[in-house]
Amino acid sequence: MSVTMNSGMPKGKPLSLRMGRDDFLMRAFVLAISLYLLLSLAFPLYAMLSKAFSTYRFDLSQIEFQVSDQAGAFSGDTVTAKTLNDKLKSISGDDLATSSDGRLSLVPLFPDFSFRSPVHYKIRGTTAETVYLVGSERHVGTDWLEVDSNTFRRVVLRPVQSIGFSNFTEYFSTPSLFESIENSILISLISTVITVSLAFAFAYALNRSCMRFKGVFRLIAMAPILVPSLLPGIALVYLFGNQGMLKEVMMGESIYGPYGIVIGSVFFTFPHAMIIITTALAISDARLYEAAVSLRASAWKTFWTVTIPGARYGLISAAFVVFNLVITDFGLPKVIGGQFNMLAVDIYKQVIGQQNFEMGAVVSVVLLMPAFIAFFVDRQVQKKQVALLSARSVVFDPKPNRKFDRLCFLYCSLIGIFIVGILGVCQFAALIKFWPYDLTLSLKNYNFDRMDGGGWGAYHNSIELAALTAIFGTLVIFIGAYMVDKTRGFRVGRTFFQLLAMLPMAIPGMVLGLAYIFFFNNPANPLNFLYGTMAILVIVTVTHFYTVSHLTAMTALKQMDNEFESVAASLKQPFYKLFARVTVPVCMPAILDIGIYLFVNAMTTVSAVVFLYSTDTTLASVAVLNMDDAGDIAPAAAMGMMIFYTNALARIIHLIISKGILKKTQAWRSR
Amino acid sequence: MALSKKLALAAVASLCMAGNALATDLTVYTAVEAEDLKRYAEEFNKAHPDIHINWVRDSTGVITAKLLAEKNNPQADVIWGLAATSLLLMKSEGMLEPYAPKGVEKLDKKFVDSSTPPTWTGMDAWVASVCFNTIEGKKLGLTAPTSWKDLTKPEYKGHVIMPNPNSSGTGFLDVSSWLQMFGEKGGWEYMDALHENIARYTHSGSKPCKLAAAGEIPIGISFAFRGAKSKADGAPIDIIVPPEGVGWDMEATAIVAGTSKLDAAKTLVDWTISKDANVMYNTGYAVVAYPGVAKPVKFFPDNLTDKMIDNDFEFAANNRKAILEEWQKRYDSKSEPKS
Amino acid sequence: MRTEAAFEKSAEDGHEKAYLRIDNLWKNFGEFIALKDITMSVMEGEFICFLGPSGCGKTTLLRAIAGLDLQATGTIEQAGKDISNLPPAERDFGIVFQSYALFPNLTIEKNVAFGLENTGLAKPAITARVKELLELVGLPDQGKKYPAQLSGGQQQRIALARAIATSPGLLLLDEPLSALDAKVRVHLRHEVKELQRKLGITTVMVTHDQEEALSMADRIVVMNHGVIEQIGTPTDIYREPETLFVADFIGEMNQIAANYTPADGEEKPIVTIGNKSFVCAGAAGLRAGPVIAAIRPEDIIPHREDVGPLITEPENCLTLRIDEMEFLGSFWRTRLSGAELGEVELIADFSINAVRRLSMETGKQQVIEIPSNRLKVFAAKKGAA
C-alpha cells in the first residue's frame, strides 16, 4: 500500500515544463502581439502623458544686458533680466509660464524705456542654448548683440522646456476650457438618459410585442452605425438651421449648440444602446412573468418589479456605453456645436488651431478620466450580465394584444421615421444644386475633386483602409485571442496581454491619434517611417477597435472544446495545423463578424485618424469633416452618404459570404 | 557566391541609373486650394521637367501644426503656399533656410522677408472681406453694412458670423488687423461690440462666406477670394470691403532648413517668384507679389488693393499667443453670445 | 493475456520493470494539494483504473501522465524513459475525453486520419489504416459523416479509434463513458475492454463509477483527497478493502460502532457489537478499543435454525427480527435488529431462493451467520464513537 500520510509537500523548486516546439511558437506569438499592442498603444500613451507634463517657462536668468548712456557709450556694467525683475517685479510669475510658442517682450524691465530714446542696448544669452528673437530673426548663444532703442522693443525671449504641472494649472484656470468639462458631462448625461429611454422602449417593443415588421425596424435601427457620427449634424443643419426645412419647430432657438449635439448624439448612439438592451431583455425569464400574472399583479407593477430589474445590467451597461460614445465624440459637436465647447473639440482646437500640442495632451488626459470610469463600471456590469446569461431561463414568448401591438408599431414607426428621415435629408441635400436658392437636382456635389478633403481619392483610400483594417486587424486580433487563450502556462505574459487588449476601449480616438503623433513622429523612433503612411492609419484603427473584436474572438474560442489542443498534441500534430483545420473553420462566423465590424468602423471613424492622415491618405470620413469645415456642406452630406452606401453594401456582401461559407464549411452544424 | 556578387552589383547599378534617369523628388508642403495644385505643378514642370513635386496639402492650421511637430525631423523640402504668419513661426524656430531667390529684387518689398538673405518670399495676398447675402438681407430688412463699425449695429444681432482665430488663419488676420487699425484698446472694444452680434465662430475661414452664400447667416466675415468664388458659383452675395482697411496675409514660399535636396529646392523657389508663376497666381488672387502682373479677377472688388492695411507681420507673429489667449478669455465660451 | 493474479504479482515486485512508473508525485493548485506523494506503477499491457469521488485527484494524475498539467515534484517514467517534464507532444500516448473532443467540422474519416497525416504515411496507407480502425470500432460505414450526425456512443468509439490510430504505447481514458446513457455505457464497457485486450495496449482509465472500474480494470487504484487508498485487483479491492474509505466507496457495507479485542495467542480476535461478541478477521496493528466493524450485506448468511450442519461458526450466529423487506429485483434487501445488538440495525441481502426457502417475512425472527473472515474491523473515525 502506497498511502503516505505526511502532508507536507517537499520543499524546493517546483518542476518546470520543458517547452516543446509548439510552446515556443505560441509564446513567441503572444510576445509578438503583446509587442504590437505595446507599440501601438502603451508607448504612444506614455509619450502623450509626458507631453502633458512638458512645460515651457521663460528663464530670465538666461539673458543679460548692458545699457548705454544717452550718448550711446557703454559703461560695461552687465545685469541679467532676472536681477532686474527681482528689483522691479514687473513680470509676474504667471507671465513666466507659457507654451512652446511663447515670446516675452523685455521692455517692461526698463521703466523709462522709450523707442525714440538714443539709448542703445547690448544683449546676450548667458548659456549657449538661450534663444531670443529680434523681430522674427532668431539669435542663439552668448555673443553680444547691440541694438538701438527702436529695435530693442522688438526683442523677445523664447521659453525653455521643463517638466511640471503648470499646463494643468493653466488649463483649470482658463474658464472656457474648464467649462468644456461641465458641458461635456452635461451633454453626455442628457443624451444618455434620452437615448437609453428611447432605445429601451424600442427594444421592449421588439421583444415583448407581436407587432409587424419587426425585422424592418431592427434593420432601420442599426443604420446609424453605418455612418460617421457627424452626418446627423449635417442633416440637422438642413432641417433646423436658419434656412432649414423645419426651422419653425425650433421656435427661435438655435440648433447650433446643445440641442443639435443632443439630437445628433441620440441618433448615432441609438443602435449601440438598442443592441445591449435587446440582449438584456431577451434573457429575462418568462417564468417570472407567469408568476406575476398568477399573483394578479398589474401590468404597470409587473413592469417595474420584473422587467426593469431583469434588464438592469443591460440598462446600466447601455448607459455607460452611450455616455462614453458621446463624451469622446468629436465630429458631431464640431459640425453642430456652434459656440458650445466640448472636450473632444478642444483637443482639436488646441492642436490644429493653436499648434499647442502640450495643451492638447492636457485636455486628452482630462478626457481620459470620465472615459476610464465609464469603462470600468461597464466591465463590472458586463461580468454580472454574463453570469445572468448563463443561468437557465425560459424564453419569453409574447402574446398578441392588439392595442399594445399597435402602440408599439406606432412608436417604432416614429423612431424609424427619425432615423430614415435624417439619412433621407442628407441624401436629398446632396442632390440639390444650391440650397436654398437653386433647388434643381444635380450631381454637382459629387464632384469631390473640386473640394477640400481629398476628393474621390479620399473615398478610395477609405475603402482601402477599411479593407486592410478588416483583413490585417482580424488576423492580428483572432490569432492574438487564440494564443492568449490556448498557450500553456506563461500566466504573467497572458494576463499582461489581456490587460493590454482591454485598454483601447477606454481610450478616446482623438487621444489615441494625438498620442500617435507624439510617439511616431519622433525622429528618434525607429518606427518613424510609418508616420504619414496608410500603415499607421491601419494600425491606429485596428488598435482603436481592438477590444470589442478581441472579446468577440474570445467568446467564440471559449465555446470550443478545451481538449482539442490536448488531442492534437497527443497525436503529435502541431497547433497551427489544428488552428487552420479546425479552429478557424469552426470560428468562421465570429471571424467574419470581426471583419465587418472593423470594416464599417474604419469607414466611419474620424477621431482616431484626424491627426494622422496625409495627402496621399486622405479619408472619406475626414473629407466629410473638412468639407463641412470649409462650408461645403452639401458635398459633405454627399460623401457621408457614400460611406453609408458602401457600408450597407459591405454588410450585404458580408451576409452573402457568411451564408456561403457557412453552407460550405459549417455543414456539420446541420444534422 | 559569384552570382550573388553579380546581383548586388546589378542592383547598385540599377539604383544609380534610376537616380539619374528619374526626376528629383521634392516633398512640398502647401495650403493652396486643392484644385489649383495640379495646375501649379504642371506650369512648373513646363520649365523644369526634371523635378517632381510630391504635394502634402492641408488647411493652414494643419500644415502649420504638422511642420512644427516635425521641427526636429523635417519631412518637407520646400513650403510653397503657406501663410506668412505661419512661416514667421517657422523662422523663429530656425526651421527655414535663408535664401535670396534669383530675381527677388523685382518683387514688391512688402512680399519679401526683411532679413538678408530673406527666409521666405511672398506669392500673393489673401484679403479679408465681408460677404453679404442680398436676398436674405432683404428678407430680414437689413441694410448692407459698409464698414467694420457698421457690423456692431444692433440690427445685425445674430446675423454675423466669423471664423474663430484660434483655429482659422483668416480669423486671426481679422483680429490682428483690427488691433493694428484701431489700436490695442480700440481693437478689443470693437470686438466686444462685434461679439454681441456674432451668431457663432466657425472653425474655418471660408465657411462664413459659404454660410452667407447659402443664406444660413446673411453676413460672413471671410476673405475676398472665397467670396468671388461663391459669387461665380451663383450665390446671391455682395463682397464688401470695409473702408477702414482690411487685414490680409500672404501665401509665401520657403526652403526648409536641412533639406538634402537644396539645389532642386532652390530651382523650385526661384521659379515660384518668377513672372510666369505670378501670372499663374493671378487666376485666383487679385493681388500678387510681382508688380504690374495682376489683372482684375472676376467678381473681385476693385478697390481691394488700396484698402489693404500696412500689415505688421512681426507684430502678428510675436503677439499671436497673447492675442489668442485674450480672445479666448473674452469670447470663447458659450455663456456670452445669445443668438 | 495475463491473469489478474499475474499482474498483481508482477506489480508487487516489479516496480523496477514497470512500463509506467510514478514516483513521489506532488501537485498543488495554490494552497490546495491535489496529489500527495503518489507512487505507483503500471505493467505493460495492463488496464488500470483510477477510481474515486470527484476532486480526489484522479484526473489530475491522468493529466500529469499526459503532460497536460505538470506536477510540482516527482518523476514519471514511461518505457524506461524519464518523461517528467516533457511537453505532451513529445510523450507517447493517445487520449480520449468525456466530451469526445471530436473536431466538429471534419468528417469521421478526417478525424481518425488527423494524427496519421504528416507522419510519412502515403495517402493510400492512411486510407487503409482509417478503414481498419473504423472496422475495429465497429463503425465501418460512417466515415463520410460528421460527428454531430452520430450518437454519443458512436462518437466515443470514433474518439477511441482516433486515439489508437498512431499506435501509441499508452492509452489514457478520461471518464470516457460518463456522458453516455446507462445502457450504452454498459455495452461500451465490454467493447472497450475487448479492444484493449485485442490490442494489448497499456491503458489508464479515470472513472468515478465503481461498477465500471470493477468490470473493466485489471487493477484498480482507489484515490481519495489526493492520496492512493489502495491498489489491487477488483476482487481484492472488493473483498479485502484496506481502509474504511475503500470499504465504503466500493460496494455496500454495514458500518457498525463496535469494540475490538485483538488476537491473543490462541484467542481469536473478537469484535463486540452491542452485547454480542463475534470472531472477526482482525487487523494488524489495531489496538483494543472502539472500532468500526464492517460487513457487506450479501456476506450475511441466513439459516433455518441456529444449529445445523451448514453452520460453520456457531459463535458468529444470532437470531434477529426482520424489520423491513424490500424487493430489489435480483435479491431482497432486509433490515434486521435484535436486543443483542442494541441500537444497531443490520442490512442484509438475501437471494430470492433463500427468502422463499426460509419463508422470510417482515416481523419474523431469522437466524443469521456472520462469517468471521468477512467481518472487518477498521480504526474508528476521529470524532465518531
Claim to verify: residue A434 and residue A541 sit in the same structural domain:
no
Contacts of B214 in chain A (CB under 8 A): 243, 434-436, 631, 633
**Among A387-391, A584-588, B23-27, C240-244, which is the least confidently predicted range?**
A387-391
Nearest to A137 among B64, B115, B335 (CB): B115
Helix (H) or strand (E) holding A157: strand A155-157
One-letter amino acid for residue A167 of the chain: N
Q: State the Cα–Cα distance between residues A81 and A89, nearest whole angstrom.
A: 11
Is A402 within a domain? yes
Q: Give the residues across from C171 on adjacent strands.
A: C94, C203
Residue A247 sits in the same domain as residue A387: yes
CATH code: domain of residue A348: 1.10.3720.10
Q: Where are the domains of chain C?
A: 4-247, 252-379
* Nine-digit cell string for C40: 505507483
Q: Residue A14 falls within a domain, yes or no? A: no
| Chain A environment of B236 (Cβ under 8 Å) | 437
Nearest CA in chain A to C227: A3
3-state secondary structure of C262: coil
Same domain for A361 and A493, yes or no, is: no
CB C109 within 8 A of CB C149: no
Per CB-CB distance under 8 Å, the chain C contacts of A2 are 38-40, 228, 231
Interchain proximity C101–A566, CB inside 8 Å? yes
Q: Do A399 and A476 belong to one domain?
A: no
First to last CA, chain C: 47
What pLDDT does residue B339 have?
36
The CATH number of C4-247 is 3.40.50.300
**pLDDT at B22 (0 to 100):** 54
Nearest Cα residue in chain A from B217: A242
The C residues from 278 to 297 touching A (CB cutoff 8 Å) are none
What is the reported pLDDT for B38? 84
DSSP letters for B105-153: GGS-GGGB-SSSS-SEEEEEEEEEEEEEEHHHHHHHTPPPP-STGGGGS
Contacts of B199 in chain A (CB under 8 A): 254, 256, 338
Question: Average pLDDT in the A327-339 region?
Answer: 91
Query: Mind listing the pLDDT tens digit for each residue in A568-599?
Result: 999 999 999 999 999 999 899 899 999 999 99
Distance, in Å, from the CA atom of A624 to the CA atom of A335, rounded to the nearest integer, reads: 10
**Shared-domain flag, residues A103 and A66:** yes
pLDDT at residue C19, rounded to an integer: 95
Residues A520, A598 within the same domain: yes
User: Which tens digits make up the pLDDT trace of C187-211?
Assistant: 999 999 999 999 999 999 999 999 9
User: How close does chain A come to C37, measured CA to CA in Å?
Assistant: 7
Mutation site for A-interface testing, chosen from B114, B321, B336 by largest number of A Cβ within 10 Å: B321
Q: Which of residues 236-275 of A touch B (CB under 8 A)?
A: 237, 241-243, 254, 256-257
- Three cell numbers, residue B225: 477670394
The rounded distance, in Å, linking the Cα atoms of A278 and A388 is 14
Which pLDDT value is given to residue B13? 45
* Strand arrangement of the beta sheet that strand A160-163 belongs to: A97-98, A54-57, A160-163
Q: Which CATH superfamily is domain B126-248+309-331 in?
A: Periplasmic binding protein-like II (3.40.190.10)
pLDDT score at A669: 61
Q: What is the pLDDT of residue C321?
A: 94
Q: Which of C35, C37, C71, C206 is most worth mutating to test chain A (most A CB atoms within 10 A of its CB)?
A: C37
Q: Which of A571, A573, A582, A664 best probes binding to C when mutated, by most C CB atoms within 10 angstroms?
A: A571
User: Is C229 an 8 Å CB contact of chain A?
Assistant: yes
Q: HSE on the CB side for C185, CA within 13 Å?
A: 16
The answer to whether residue A168 sits within a structural domain is no
Q: Which domain holds residue A555?
A: 21-53+448-666
Contact residues on chain B for A632, CB-CB shorter than 8 A: 210
Q: Is A158 on the interface with B (CB under 8 A)?
A: yes
Overall domain count for chain A: 3
> Is the complex ipTM more than 0.90?
no
pLDDT digits 0-9 by tens, C277-326: 999 987 778 888 899 999 999 999 999 877 777 888 888 999 999 999 99
pTM (whole model) above 0.90:
no
Q: In which order are the strands placed within the sheet that holds C219-224?
A: C93-97, C170-174, C202-207, C47-51, C219-224, C227-232
Predicted pLDDT at A491: 81
pLDDT digits (tens, 9 = 90+) for A453-500: 778 999 999 999 999 999 999 999 999 999 988 887 778 888 888 888
Say if B2-125+249-298 and B126-248+309-331 have the same CATH topology. yes
Instruction: Answer yes or no: are the C-beta atoms of B321 and A102 closer than 8 Å.
Output: yes
Q: Do A and B count as touching (3 or more CB pairs closer than 8 A)? A: yes
Question: Residue B336: what pLDDT?
Answer: 39
Residue of C171, C173, C132, C139 lying closest to C153 (CA atoms): C139
For A18-22, C28-32, C170-174, which range has the lowest pLDDT when averaged over its residues? A18-22
Closest residue of C to A12, CA-based?
C73
Considering the domain C252-379, what is its CATH architecture?
Beta Barrel (2.40)
On whether the CB atoms of residues A330 and A344 are closer than 8 A, the answer is: yes
Amino acid at A95: D
CATH of domain B2-125+249-298: 3.40.190.10
Chains that touch A (3 or more CB pairs under 8 A): B, C
Lookup: cell for C188:
461500451
pLDDT beyond 50 at C385: no
- The residues, ordered by sequence, that sit 6+ positions from B13 with a Cβ below 8 Å of its Cβ are none
Interface of B with A in 268-297 (CB under 8 A): none
Domain residue ranges of chain B, discontinuous segments joined by +:
2-125+249-298, 126-248+309-331
Residue A13 DSSP class? P
| A398 shares its domain with A510 | no
pLDDT digits (tens, 9 = 90+) for A132-162: 998 888 899 899 999 999 899 889 999 998 8
Looking at the fold, whether A49 and A86 belong to one and the same domain comes out as no
Apex CA A251: angle with CA A248 and CA A254, to 5°? 95
* Per-residue model confidence (pLDDT) at position B20: 43
Q: Which segment of A69-78, B262-271, C7-16 scores lowest on mean pLDDT?
A: C7-16
- Comparison of pLDDT for A559 and A265, the residue scoring more: A265
Pairing of strands A97-98, C365-369: unpaired
Does residue B3 register a pLDDT over 70? no
In a domain, A140, yes or no: yes
Is the pLDDT confidence value at C108 over 90?
Answer: yes
Residue C300: DSSP 8-state: P
How distant is the alpha carbon of residue A355 from its chain centre?
21
Do residues C126 and C202 lie in contact, with contact meaning Cβ atoms separated by under 8 Å? no
Which has the closest alpha carbon to B192: B151, B147, B224, B163? B151
Q: What is the pLDDT of residue C12?
A: 52
Average pLDDT value for chain B: 86
Interface list for A 182-201 with B (CB within 8 A): 183
Higher pLDDT, C225 or B168: C225
Overall average pLDDT of the C366-377 stretch: 92
Predicted confidence band at C7 (pLDDT cuts at 50, 70, 90)?
low
Residues A276 and A420 in one domain: yes
Query: Is the four-CA dihedral C11, C14, C19, C22 of positive or negative sign?
Result: positive
- Provide the pLDDT confidence category of residue A5 given band limits of 50, 70 and 90: very low
Task: Determine whether the interchain pair C40/A19 forms a contact, defined as Cβ–Cβ distance below 8 Å.
Answer: no
Predicted local confidence at residue B335, as pLDDT: 40
Q: Which positions 17-36 of B are in contact with A (Cβ < 8 Å)?
A: 33-35
Please indicate, yes or no, whether residues A395 and A474 belong to a single structural domain of this protein.
Answer: no
Contact state of A586 with C105 under an 8 Å Cβ cutoff: yes
pLDDT digits (tens, 9 = 90+) for C88-100: 999 999 999 999 9
Q: In this complex, do A581 and C40 lie within 8 Å of one another by their Cβ atoms?
A: no
Q: Which residues of A touch C (CB under 8 A)?
A: 1-7, 9-10, 12, 14-23, 488-489, 561, 563-564, 566-574, 577, 581-582, 585-586, 665-669, 671
* Residue recorded with cell 446632396: A430
Cβ under 8 Å to A: C residues 136-155: 146-149
